[in-house]
Amino acid sequence: MISFHSKSTTEHVKGLHLISGDTPITFPSGERHIFDRATNEVPNYVDIRSADANDYVQAAMWANMQHRKGFPVTAVIPFLIGARQDHAHEFGVQAYADLINSIHADRVVAFDTHSHVIEGLVDNLVVVEPARLVRKAIVGKDRENMAYDGIICPDHGAIERTQRIADICHLPVFHAEKHRDTATGELSGFSVEPLNPNGKYLVCDDICDGGGTFMGLADATGLDRDHLDLYVSHGVFSGRAAQLAERYGRVFTTDSLDTAAVSPLKATVINLLPFLMTDILPVKVDAASVTLVA
């Protein structure tokens, strides 16, 4: 999904996030295009919630159109595509970074990017971490009914993220480890630091695809679903992910991907945009160079 947003120049709605008057279309032959029909508005950002290359082509068209008018362009791409393809033997991340860079955005805003590799490849990148969202939308939202005794870190790669979340929530971290068969490299199980069987814990990670890892982790904790919740920044929720409801009382994610809302898992989906745009300084506009369409 792709959408274009603007700030109206009329005083009574000035500064609100509005759908742009620019009209995106798709020709019968499949190419994307945009009709420049926006009047009396200042473009704000293009929001991309997919891995469809056509959306990035259309975003590049829109950015080019706004740059010609003298406006800066922000691209909001919460789920930074290609981040999981960052291995040396499968460097697909470079191709996806090139696709993002083809927009020529003055700023790219992403959320919990999974890989430091892609962070070094995307131009003008601003990364928003999940700690404040977890504190405000989950841990601190209903302390009486959803109080937690700790945050569970699912593996070694999530240590930094989990520690930042735990620090802002003033909760301890409990570490889990993945174990692999040394001969095959296949995942063989989990181990978790001792937990209070009467406590309540929140597992935090960046991506959930089929959910198998989190099912195995729940088994390793020895806790039932009333004592265990799950937060993931990006909910792909493919395959058998709906089974997570059998092991977790509540599953939280964001709307970074359209799949989160339509999954049979029925996770609690948090609106991400307020967390992406808060505390991020606006791109300055050179008023002398701007030409509004009458």
Which distant-in-sequence residues (6+ apart) come within 8 Å of 144 by Cβ? none
Q: Any bridge partners for residue 24, and if so which?
A: 34
Which residue has 């009209």 as its token pair? 23
Does residue 220 contact residue 240 with C-beta atoms inside 8 Å? no
Q: Which two tokens stand for residue 150?
A: 């700790």
pTM: 0.86
Q: What is the DSSP string of 33-96?
A: EEE----SEEEEEEEE-S--HHHHHHHHHHHHHHHHHT---EEE-SS-TTTT--BTTB-HHHHH
Q: For each of the chain's 294 residues, which pLDDT tens digit applies? A: 889 888 765 544 444 556 888 888 889 998 898 888 766 777 889 999 988 999 999 999 999 999 998 899 999 999 998 887 666 556 788 889 999 999 999 999 999 998 888 888 999 999 999 999 999 999 986 555 568 999 999 988 889 999 999 999 999 999 998 877 666 666 768 899 999 999 999 999 999 999 999 999 999 999 999 999 999 999 999 999 999 999 999 999 999 998 888 888 989 999 998 888 764 545 544 434 443 333
The single-letter DSSP state of residue 114 is S
Residue-range domains of the chain with CATH: 2-128 (3.40.50.2020), 131-271 (3.40.50.2020)
